[in-house]
Amino acid sequence: MKLRCKCDHIIVDQTDNLENKGYILPDTYVEDVSVTLTDNIDSLIEALKSDKRLSWIKNKFQNGYPTTLKDSSMIHDLVSNKIVETTQDIFECENCGRIAIQVGQTNQFKYFFPDSEETKGILKGKKK
Ligand SMILES: [Zn+2]
């Protein structure tokens, strides 16, 4: 994805681990994400105990989902899907320091201009 900032700089979102990208998780979805994690772990453990792993996979994923993945990878996929559904992207323009926030789950972004130059780099987290 590419985003044109108000300053005309193009913000490019084509790789992982971007220093100027983040996610907003609205407080009203925190419980949803948490429950997605815990409920799926519980139900998978139950399915494993009763030898129903394959029907659990069929119930949780679309046709064609591989059945040979690690259990943790399947839980990861379920939680990731929920996070994608519930978070909004946030980008910081490397040129002007504006913050672009995705409007809900739409393709639109709202821009916010920082108070001062010192605010630049505010999103910078630890690089892996
Ligand atoms: Zn900009």
Q: Which residues pair with 2 in a beta bridge?
A: 12
pTM of the model: 0.80
Q: How far is the CA of 10 from the centre of ligand 1 (A)?
A: 8
Residue 99, Ramachandran bin (φ over 0: left; ψ between -120 and 50: alpha; else beta): beta
What is the residue type of 66?
A: P
Average pLDDT, 10 consecutive residues per value, the chain (128 residues): 95 92 96 97 98 96 95 97 96 94 96 82 68
Task: Note the pLDDT of residue 127.
Answer: 58
Where would I find the H helices in the chain?
27-49, 53-60, 71-86
Interatomic CA distance for residues 116 and 42, integer angstroms: 48
Domain ranges for the chain, please list them: 2-25+88-119, 27-85
Interatomic CA distance for residues 57 and 74, integer angstroms: 8
Task: Note the pLDDT of residue 121.
Answer: 77
Q: How far is the CA of 8 from the centre of ligand 1 (A)?
A: 6
Task: Note the pLDDT of residue 123.
Answer: 78
Q: How far is the CA of 80 from the centre of ligand 1 (A)?
A: 29
